[in-house]
Amino acid sequence: MNKPSDNRQRTTDTPIWFCLDLPRTDYKRALQLQYRLVAARKDKRLAHDTLIMLEHQPVYTLGRRGGKENLKVSPDFLRNSGIQVVPIERGGNITYHGPGQQVVYPIIDLQASRLSVADYVDGLEEVMIRTVRQWEVRAERNPLNRGVWVGMQKLGSIGIAVRRGISFHGLALNVNTDLTPFSWINPCGLNDVGVTSVQQESGRPIPMDELRRVMKRHFEQVFDIELESIQMADLEKHL
């Protein structure tokens, strides 16, 4: 993974990644799409690594380390609040996804991209750090937990899984997110830490379409790739 300058020139050797922009999407539906993309990437039916960029309906997801013990509210409370709880295979503990949060699922052949898991996660963190700088938010890494932080406030989370050499799941950046549901859990299984958003840190709402454009540019710069927009109907042809 390179960290080229902002004015780098494209070449014919620059890898192409597809980029699929989706509207707000149910978590389980997006998870099934990831599984299909992982299988297609491994079988070479899908020739390019692919980013899925979306927001989710409210949901708590539980990683490989579990997380139900970090729920502070009852199942009845969750049902009344309309929040699902979904166990999945990514790393980490419990987290929340909801409207106003930018979620990105890169489906990446790590070996073909010559990326170690550690370098890949570093790259995802770097994308978030560079993106929020656009709004004068100074995020940084914290050895306490992967992702990006503003002081002791978690701003963006990372959780990935690798299946047959293909990485999936990804990152979630709190942009204009309602942070209340985070108060009903111990985020990422951590006690005595807070959660923040770009809106809260910058003092103004952030246009999600603008943030998405900025984040795409930093994906290209950090991973030294070129994103090519693709529609769902065209992506289906590879699946």
Tokens at residue 146, please?
């992967």
Q: How far is residue 199 from each of residues 100, 135, 180, 237, 239, measured CA to CA in Å? A: 10, 9, 14, 38, 37
Cα 212 to Cα 67: distance, rounded to the nearest angstrom = 29
Active site residue 19: no
| Catalytic, out of 31, 62, 173, 188 | 188
Tallying the residues shown for the chain, one arrives at 239
Cα 13 to Cα 112: distance, rounded to the nearest angstrom = 14
Query: 175 near 134, Cβ under 8 Å?
Result: no
The catalytic residue positions are 188
